[in-house]
Amino acid sequence: MQSGRKLAYWSLNVFLLLSSSALFALSQPGFLLSTGLPFLAYIIFVPLFILIRRISFRSSFLWGGIYGVLNYCIFSYWLWGFHPLAMYIVALEYFLYYMITIPLLKLADLYFPRYGFAVQWLIWIGYEYIKTLGFLGFSYGLVGYSQWQFIPFIQIASIFGVWGVSALVCFPSAWIAAGIKPYCKEPLRNWLHGFRAFAYRERVSALIWCLCMIGALIYGVSVQRDYNELPTARIALIQPNSDPWVGGLEAYRRDFNTLKKLSDQAIADNPNLALVVWPETAFIPRIDWHYRYREDRNSFELVHELLTYVDAQPVPFLIGNDDAVKAVTEEGLPDRLDYNAALLFRPHENVLPPRPDRYRKMHLVPFTEHFPYKKTFPAIYDALVANDTHFWEKGDEPAVFSVNGLKFSVPICFEDTFGYITRRFARHGAKLFVNMSNDAWAKSAACQYQHLSMSVFRAVETRLPMVRATASGQTAAISPHGNITAMLSPFVEGYICVDIPVFTEKSNTWYVMWGDVLGIIVTIAAVGLLIIGSVRAILNLGKLHEKNR
């Protein structure tokens, strides 16, 4: 009988864990629904917070690690197609993240018997902020991004960034779970016993959340404006529907011919184009390098063919390319440094010989594009190299391009998942973001929609339009309020031409001015409360010892 109860107890714990992971994945764009089920985000953590009450502090480390692996293996399953080591690295990373976060949530439950739900809420937002920082920074999976299509609501991102949206979305989970937790170790039928009393007791916090939601919606509706009075510029966004890194020189030539064909069609149909945009590393042979050094005749000929083509066009071209420069190793040997770059060519000005305006990607994908710890962890570095990892150098200049009245910056692929990148561009004078991406390797609409959902927030945070030219999707135009105004179907060969409002004033939203201050404040508050709770627990333990002596 005892063993049966134990099995039922553990089975329910496993069910709670799986339920929370499933809700996490389903609320975001995923394999079942490419745009996600955003309403589920408001109850994602109800099973998790109940589980935390049921388990011990000691076991919470293991439960947390397992939860992290489950979340990201289900949510970002498409990473299996990115790199042989990508999923293993992400699984390990989130095993460690959650192995720390879940015990902290448990401590909040132990230290603050009545208001633990509020502390847990702060801890979760703080965790979301911390996980986007540094070399391992990874923005995929932030709860706020699930609301990317709820346009009136997400306007508060122009003040608080995505953290304000996450905060409002996460609170109901913590509040609902708090009303269930006192009875969560009893049979399931008793879980809601006393919930009415809890809801009445904590009605003020629920009312404050309701007022914040209403305020966010009122703000979101009132702040939106019509940009029809502004002049516009037409941009052609090219989607070749191919992974440019697959194959050799013949594949590169085939992709170039596709890009050329689509660009010719766009120019013929739209003679007033201001810019043609190709995706990230759409043209693989290093344009400047092969033109300058001519180490390989076939590569030089393809580069020359590209430059001749671009120079004959009536419109500037923005092209993703590997921008290489000569360097010298520490041993004094010749070397080459590669940068993931966006190159702006103006026909008859800087094409032949190539002297393009350049932007070099500043925030590289950890492990698969960049690994700065070669000397510290040589075994990891060697394993990455053995698995055909292409490393890049980091750029350091937030370039702002100017052409045909447009002042724009080019967050490359992964970069538009970070608010601080587009904020930095906006502070340097960008009036438009032109994202170039390659998610074709994933062969996953979910991956591409997850990426798009984050781009939407970058437009809202800065109140600047964004366009995206991608290898296979989602090629789109995004208004300053986050509306998708045009989008090409995924996994098709084609192009779209979009009219973008031309802004003249510098972006001055609260987010552009203050950045991620809410994430910082919440993190400090969560740490401070945990410290206070720990000190209080130690003092109480000391008093108990004194009493027992």
Residues belonging to the active site: 280, 361, 413
Alpha-carbon Rg for the chain in angstroms: 26
Q: How far is CA 470 from CA 260, 299, 485, in A?
A: 15, 24, 16
Alpha-carbon 262 to chain mean position: 29
Cβ 158 vs Cβ 461: under 8 Å: yes
Please give the Cα distance from 473 to 459 (Å, whole number). Answer: 18
DSSP state of 79: G
DSSP for 215-276 reads HHHHHHHHH----TTS-EEEEEEEE--S-TTSS-HHHHHHHHHHHHHHHHHHHHH-TTEEEE
Strand-pairing partners, residue 487, are: 476
| Best CA proximity match to 473, nearest among 240, 296, 272, 209 | 240
Q: Compute the 3-state secondary structure of the chain and give helix, strand, coil in percent, each to the nearest 5.
A: 55, 15, 30
Structure tokens that stand for 312 in this block: 């004959």
Query: Coil, strand or helix: which one is 367?
Result: coil
Contacts 24+ apart (CB under 8 A), 179-183: 180/46, 180/50, 181/49, 181/50, 181/53, 181/109
Beta strands 484-487 and 476-478, pairing class: antiparallel
Please give the Cα distance from 29 to 32 (Å, whole number). Answer: 8
Count the Cβ atoms, other than its own, within 10 Å of residue 73.
17
- Count Cβ neighbours within 10 Å for each residue of 6-19 and write b for 16 or more, e otherwise: eeeeeebbeebbeb
Structure tokens that stand for 55 in this block: 């388990």
Q: What angle do CA 66, 72, 78 make, to 5 degrees?
A: 140
